[in-house]
Chains A and B, each alone.
Chain A
């Protein structure tokens, strides 16, 4: 009989779980232009400093990535992180600024020109970043540095 105690404890533990599950946060509607602007600001800072970590929290689970002289395709956020990290490891950012912002049917995007130093040679590329609402926030669904 004594050995039934572990079972009883486990059952008691499991019985508390639905309460925990019920307390999961409800998905909220993402905020407006301020939040969108914050994401673009992070992207601008990240690209300007060559630091993916600044904007990687905003990456969607599936991101379409196109990189100058590199990969192109649909990647997971983790892959996109390392692809961009490798991209910036070889290139030292000189400048980047979004010059155009657009929005159509809940899909904001921003474009701009960036300059990098690659093996001592300066490169100019066009940047395109698109966002979409997901999980109650704005996430990056497409990033092109080409």
Chain B
């Protein structure tokens, strides 16, 4: 692929087309093609719609039938695999053996494949089973024993179950039958965890993209609806099983769907186009010189792309669930920028990218550029005040984002029950963190600007900081007054302002010092600060929301509900008026009609909201044809149900039971169901009951509700609801509130004011603090809704969870950054302290993790043991209760003979239970789920094997319905002769809320403890690592100084012990010796240099002296000879002498320069600036053209300004001389090899190759008038700066001299 791209790119380059333009053109062409194809397809489908519709529908039908057949074959294969299993062989070949292994095998198959499975022997008797099952007819068993496979579908009120019976053969002999069952169709739209398993028809509907319905009620029930295309389904034995119906494509929906596909393609191409255009713009930004212009363009680009995505509905148009679900979070901010967590995440990334790009641009700006022009005083004043207000406005925006994150969401931020947060919560919290970091960065930038504007010159810096502090303090207090809802306390604003000022001061100090490591740490500090900034606001808003919801509940509590509950009943009644129910009632199939009540309930508002309900269908003769009851208010509902008359129209009746918070409102309604020609098909009655404290949310357990969103209604703190009359407690749902407890005094006094309707107050109940909302109800009644105050542990858990999330993301970001650096060739080098800290943390955290893991396992085991013990005791207690006392002479257990009695008994002993006799459910205190077939009424095979076959006295096992797992305790019931006459079971299915509460407490305690230990470990490890590594770090720093030539270092011994102390002493001794050796060497070198110098000076002086001597001698001789042209000769000789004296003077001057060792004044220099200064000196050279190209991002170098300028002047002068005073000099500079490169190129004569090596030697010159010291001085200068100088030359073409300076941060100041 890359090869093709390269070839294509090369082709474009050859053709002279810019790649970006080609890609944009290609995308535009693709967009055009997409539109054209869409248009052609649309018109083509429209013109032959009937044919297209029929073809697609038949294809879908064929797929559905084949899928159903495949399902049967897969079930058959499971039984055949079972037939080949050793357990089955062992049992059949040696019949009479223990069946326990067979049961275990079936349990495994049942669990793994989510099927029910029965095994019959050759006599047709059931010998082993597991999972849901039911009877098989004698005829079918006989047929299977003759070697035939049979298939049929069994219907229950909630589902249809595919059943396949297969002969079990060993050695080609039929030894028995295997019957396997799997749910293939859900008859109820109930959407709760119990039925979350997706049925085959649902899977097919999803895969095909249209409605697929199975009908197994017989041939006569073939769907007679023109909107569907139906086909028969046959079993493996060719028996007709039913029909499958596929919804014909609806024309409008089909074209809508087609348009949706193409709009997605268009959106994708448009996004690519946009990215290309943005990239091209980004690349062409080089022409913009001003930082402000570039920053504005970058910002505009980022936000144009963001809004373009929003406009194209990308990615929300592609992804609708998960974090893009507005049910989780949605805010109207920014015209949809935060309409879901997913969109908010994209917006947050845009904000962060914008900030990061602007910071990057700012950092790449040359640091020694001229300072901006000083603004007029008045402008600075206004700018300071404006920037301060903007800073607090930005802070308010951040607070508003957090508030929206809490109030516009269904997320629970501090739920201790949850250890691993949901993706929605993770994304939301990370968004808030990132926004916090960006806010802090923006605030620091504004603070620095304010300080700059407040500063008058260098000496006024302190005043500037103080002025900025004053401005922040006043604005921090005053800003809230500008807002009707300031969203945060003045204390928060003040602390934030102070923190920002401190951070700005730190940043300022670090940038002056140029310590990049410290700057990076500063960035990490900002990320950490975002946690600190987030938590108080988040905690405040969560608390505020809790209170708000309590107030909403209180309002609902006191509000009459006539309208709502009446609507719930009406909705339930009107739902019966569907053609489906009418058809079924008119057909009169008793088994089919029996499921209607449950089906209607499961799709009603009553189910969705979790109300206690009773749905009844009565046939025209007045007989009850179908009934479904759920909830604990059975007595009240039965009374209301009996009271409602059956009339010719809809009737609604209201009954009230009890008083106060125990008051129960019961709404009952009835309605006739009329068929064609107004023939009466029957009546329906619906009763809905709601307690006062459950008006808008039902009381049935969450798992029995129609809504899977029960979490939306839940508080992570339980609400204590109490009612007071005349200042004394009447009733409460919290047993810890004492009977006849008086209303708190302060509340009582507050309600003396008759105009007061409600107030919040704190109270103490059983040693715990509560914040409670008291509301007046009637003249003497007060209702209170109390929330238990969260302890420190809860807060720790909350903070730890947030911090852990952020830490994980920060680590990922750091890892990403390291990878980027590594790819740039900058490896990460861990310091000794880092390694030590890492080692200590690993040493501490690994065992801690093990301990935590095993503690959790142990805790889980303990919990399981407790549960086992509890279920053991409860099953024993149950048997004890149902068995008459021996002393009374009766020892035969008496089982309850009706669900009502079972319910009463369950109420007495405080636990739900089931009783099995002959492996079938005899009675249950919660029969609803058995009645509708959600729970299997047969005794679990595994329990049978262990109790009946294995003789165990108690068994506990985990069972599963849908996605709900729960534990059940089983115990045999024995008669006087110790024979098993039944089995009792106690399930924990209905105690999930209690379990969640326990989990919350455990998580809070465990997590809080481990969090505290972890924090302590990190703090101790950091302290130890710092203390141990400090002497090594000092030693390392000293070594660096020595490497730079500074031998006057001394390493303090403080904190160093043992080997490290020895090392430091040895190091000090070594530096002392080195110092001494260097002094000797310097002395020797100096002497040598003086000798060389003397020799050189003598040599140089001798050269002009000879011509002078010769000239003077010549003058003298001509004078003595009385020469005729003595005047001319005098003139010539004196000219020569003067020239030689000038030469001597120049020699003296150059030696003076070379020998002089002035004290260097090192500074961070902008190379461009120095070059400019040097070039200006040659301004009189009108025949020379200078071209200067210094990159904008060139970092500063450390050098002596005068020395560097002299070096550059020398090189330029050489260049001009090489060009005989006319031509071009090109000077280039920029980052190079981790430092800075500066090259000067002339286009003169060049230097012969054999001379290049000698050019930097003192006294070597290609010129007649020079001393050959210019380049030697340049070389010496660069060597002193730890840089290099190189020369490249080509005779006749020119010469380039390149200076290279090390990076300023690596060099420090050691070059002095």
Q: Interface residues, chain A, CB within 8 Å of chain B? A: 2-7, 9-11, 13-14, 17-18, 20-21, 24, 61-62, 64, 66, 70-76, 78-79, 81-83, 86, 102, 104-105, 107, 109, 111, 117, 119-121, 126, 128, 130, 132, 142, 144, 146
A102 to B329, CA, bound (A): 32
Which of chain B's residues has its CB closest to A120's CB? B250
Q: How far apart sit A121 and B605, CA to CA, in the bound complex (Å)?
A: 22
Q: Are B467 and A72 in contact (CB under 8 A)?
A: no
Give every chain A residue within 8 A of B481 (Cβ-Cβ).
Answer: 14, 17-18, 20-21
Out of A17, A18, A119, A146, name the residue touching B605 (CB < 8 Å).
A146
The answer, among B254, B456, B567, for a CB contact under 8 Å with A3, is B456
Contact status A74-B712, CB under 8 Å: yes
- The complex places the Cα of A21 from the Cα of B482 at a distance, in Å, of 8
What are 26 residue pairs bridging A and B, where the CB atoms are less than 8 Å apart in the complex?
Answer: A6-B467, A6-B471, A9-B381, A14-B478, A17-B481, A20-B482, A24-B484, A64-B696, A72-B609, A72-B707, A73-B410, A73-B713, A74-B712, A79-B327, A82-B326, A83-B327, A104-B562, A105-B559, A111-B563, A120-B253, A126-B567, A126-B571, A126-B574, A128-B563, A128-B564, A128-B567
CA separation between A76 and B326, bound complex, in Å?
A: 11
Top 8 closest A-B pairs, CB basis?
Answer: A120-B250, A73-B712, A120-B253, A14-B478, A82-B326, A17-B481, A109-B563, A82-B330
Shortest distance between the CB of A33 and any CB in chain B (Å): 16
Closest chain B residue to A107, Cβ basis: B559
A143 CB, nearest partner CB in chain B, Å: 12
A117 touching B385 by the CB < 8 A rule? no
Q: Check A10/B388 contact, CB under 8 A, given A78-B332, A130-B563, A142-B564.
A: yes
Question: How many residue pairs between the two chains, A and B, have CB atoms under 8 Å in the bound complex?
Answer: 152
CB within 8 Å of A: which B690-711 residues: 696, 707, 709
Kindly state the separation between the CA atoms of A9 and B377 in the bound complex, as whole angstroms.
14
Known A66-B608, A146-B605; judge A81-B377 contact (CB<8 A): no
B942 CB to nearest chain A CB (Å): 37
Q: How far is the CA of A103 from the CA of B560 in the complex (A)?
A: 10
Does B1293 make an interface contact (CB < 8 A)? no
Asked if B251 is at the interface (CB within 8 A of a chain A CB), the reply is: yes
| B785–chain A nearest beta-carbon distance, Å | 15
Q: A24-B484, A73-B712, A146-B608 are in contact. Are A102 and B381 (CB under 8 A)?
A: no
Question: In the complex, which residues of chain A have a beta carbon less than 8 angstroms from the beta carbon of B696?
Answer: 64, 142
Q: Which residues of B contact A (CB under 8 A)?
A: 211, 227, 247, 250-254, 256, 320, 326-327, 329-332, 339-340, 377, 381, 384-385, 388, 404, 407-410, 454, 456, 460, 463-464, 467, 470-471, 474-475, 477-478, 481-482, 484, 548-549, 552, 555, 559-560, 562-564, 567, 570-571, 574, 605, 608-609, 696, 707, 709, 712-713
Contact B385 A130 (CB under 8 A): no
A78 close to B331 (CB less than 8 A): yes
Find the A residue at minimum CB distance from B481.
A17
Q: A120-B250, A146-B605 are in contact. Are A74 and B471 (CB under 8 A)?
A: no
Q: Is B564 touching A6 in the complex (CB atoms < 8 A)?
A: no
How far is A37 from B801 in the complex, measured between Cα atoms in Å? Answer: 49
A104 contacts B475, C-beta separation under 8 Å: no
* Contact, CB under 8 Å: B712 / A72: yes
Closest-CB distance, B263 to chain A (whole angstroms): 13
- A17 to B477 Cα, complex, angstroms: 12
Contact between B332 and A81 (Cβ–Cβ < 8 Å)?
Answer: yes
Determine if B474 and A7 form an interchain contact, defined as CB atoms under 8 angstroms apart: yes
Please, how many angstroms separate the alpha-carbon atoms of A10 and B327 in the complex?
43
Select which of A18, A70, A83, A132 is within 8 A of B555 by beta carbon. Answer: A132
A6 engages B712 (CB within 8 Å): no
Known: A6-B471, A119-B253. A74 touches B559 (CB 8 A): no
A102 near B407 with CB under 8 A, answer: no
Contact pick for B330, options A3, A81, A126, CB 8 Å = A81
A85 CA / B470 CA spacing, docked (Å):
48
Instruction: List residues of chain B with CB within 8 A of the CB of A5.
Output: 381
A132 vs B556: C-alpha distance when bound (angstroms): 11
Given the known interface contacts A21-B481, A79-B329, the answer about A126 and B564 at a Cβ–Cβ threshold of 8 Å is no
Q: Bound state CA distance, A123 and B388, in angstroms?
A: 56
CA distance A37 to B1185 in the complex (A): 85
- Closest chain-A Cβ to B453's Cβ sits at a distance in Å of 8
| Residue among B332, B477, B567, B608 with max Cβ neighbours from chain A (10 Å) | B567
Query: How many Å from the CB of A52 to the closest CB on chain B?
Result: 11
Chain A residues lying within 8 Å of B377, measured Cβ to Cβ, are 2
Whole-angstrom CA separation of A17 from B486 in the bound complex: 13
- Max chain B C-beta neighbours (<10 A), residue from A20, A71, A117: A71
Q: How far is the CB of A83 from chain B (nearest CB, A)?
A: 5
Of A79, A130, A146, which contacts B326 at CB under 8 A?
A79
Residues from chain A with Cβ under 8 Å of B256 in the complex = 119-120
Chain B residues near A117 (CB-CB < 8 A): 252
B327, B477, B484, B574, most chain A CB atoms within 10 A: B327
Residues of A within 8 A of B474 (CB): 7, 10-11, 14
How far apart sit A108 and B330, CA to CA, in the bound complex (Å)? 28
Do A13 and B478 form a contact, CB below 8 Å, given A107-B559, A128-B567? yes
Contacts of B329 in A (CB 8 A): 79
Residues from chain A with a CB closer than 8 A to the CB of B326 are 79, 82-83, 86
| A78 pairs with B408, CB closer than 8 A | yes
- Inter-chain CA distance A10–B574, complex, in Å, is 66
